[in-house]
Amino acid sequence: MLRFEVADLNQVIKAAGRASDLYDDLRVRGGLGPADQVLPLSCFAITDAWTKEALAAGTRYTSCYVTEARVLLAAGFPLWPTEVFDDDVPDPRNEVHYDLLVAYGPNLPLAELAGGTKSERSAARAALTPRFLRLLEVLGAPEPVRG
């Protein structure tokens, strides 16, 4: 599995929080309860046709994290096959696109992450940071996309 670089962890946490609402229909199909929330991150399966260079083509990414799916699953990070659309146009990489669930459950501080006061948003990010740091630990060191 390939996950592109994570430059600013706060921005990654905020983006995952914004994406959470898009998973209403997928939660139950993914084995979670209707009250569960998710914090997803996009990632891709590397195949003979979809190398890390092919996956990065047309993007600004210069590095990525690569690890085996079984390592992510064993560490408690579910992977859901999903699709991505840009202006209603399917991404050509959809055949190898997955969402990795960094955190899931009924008590994620998503409301605080999305709104509330500056201190509430900061506290929500702080509460979620350990799970994202655990993912980075599992992913290991980033590697260059090209060369």
pLDDT surpassing 80 at residue 54: yes
Q: What is the SS3 string spanning 70-83? A: HHHHHCCCCEEECC
The answer to whether the beta carbons of residues 141 and 63 sit under 8 Å apart is no
Question: Where in the sequence is the domain holding 63, given as residue range(s)?
Answer: 2-144
pLDDT surpassing 60 at residue 147: no
Number of domain units in the chain:
1
pLDDT surpassing 70 at residue 101: yes
Arithmetic mean of pLDDT, 83-109: 91
What does the pLDDT read at residue 29?
81
What is the pTM assigned to this prediction? 0.88
pLDDT surpassing 60 at residue 15: yes
pLDDT surpassing 90 at residue 121: yes
